[in-house]
Amino acid sequence: DLDECAASPCKEHQYCLNTDGSFSCKACDASCVGCTGEGSEKCKTCASGYVKEDEKCTDIDECNLPEKVCTKENQDCVNTSGSYKCVCSEGFEDTDGTCVQT
């Protein structure tokens, strides 16, 4: 078997998996910018919104940072994978970018 992966045939956001007589390109973990294999521990660098922790790229919980990320009145922060979103608190709805009581 020829190791086609030695020639790095895959794109930047993929890793190469050598198979018998061939190869396949697999997508890197969402937490990675470039990778050497499967999973968040094989990242070359961590994607935006992730931090290297215990050799793995783990999600940053922006909602628990000391500096508030959702600064509008009556707004709550919801952590998402690699990011966050600001939503109106319960009993409020978004009207032209302002959370008003329903």
Q: Is the pLDDT of residue 7 over 90?
A: yes
Whether 1 has a pLDDT exceeding 90, the answer reads no
Q: Is residue 53 part of a domain?
A: yes
Mean pLDDT in the chain? 95
pTM metric for this prediction: 0.79
Asked whether residue 54 is domain-assigned, the answer is yes
- Tallying the residues shown for the chain, one arrives at 102
Burial, 74: exposed, middle or buried (Cβ in 10 Å; 0-12, 13-18, 19+)? middle
Identify whether residues 48 and 84 lie together within a single domain.
no
Asked if the structure places residue 73 within a domain, the reply is yes
Q: Is residue 55 located within the same domain as residue 66?
A: no
Domain of residue 79: give its range: 62-94
